[in-house]
Amino acid sequence: MPRPKPPEPLKHRYLRMSDRHWLIFKQLGGAEWLRNLLEKKAPMPKKFYDSEIERLRNPADAAFLNRKREEND
């Protein structure tokens, strides 16, 4: 049975851990445990992070910033 599609695109990130730390991480629940911990301990509300992601992905903002940079150069 295939896994369900994640709600957000997943990117590969690398963590440097010893074998002992990796075993502890896996026993705690692995990536799912880490995701839940991050959701609980986030200093800002979820809405803030969603708006930051949208701001970074918005191509209109990127075009405006590039155009503004060219004008100032």
pLDDT digits (tens, 9 = 90+) for 17-60: 999 999 999 999 999 999 999 999 999 999 999 988 888 887 66
| Rounded Cα–Cα distance for residues 22 and 27 (Å) | 9
54 close to 47: Cβ distance less than 8 angstroms: no
**Type of residue at 10:** L
CA distance 53 to 47: 10
Evaluate if residue 61 carries a pLDDT over 60. Answer: no
Give this prediction's pTM: 0.60
For residues 27 and 35, the answer to whether their CB atoms sit within 8 Å is: no
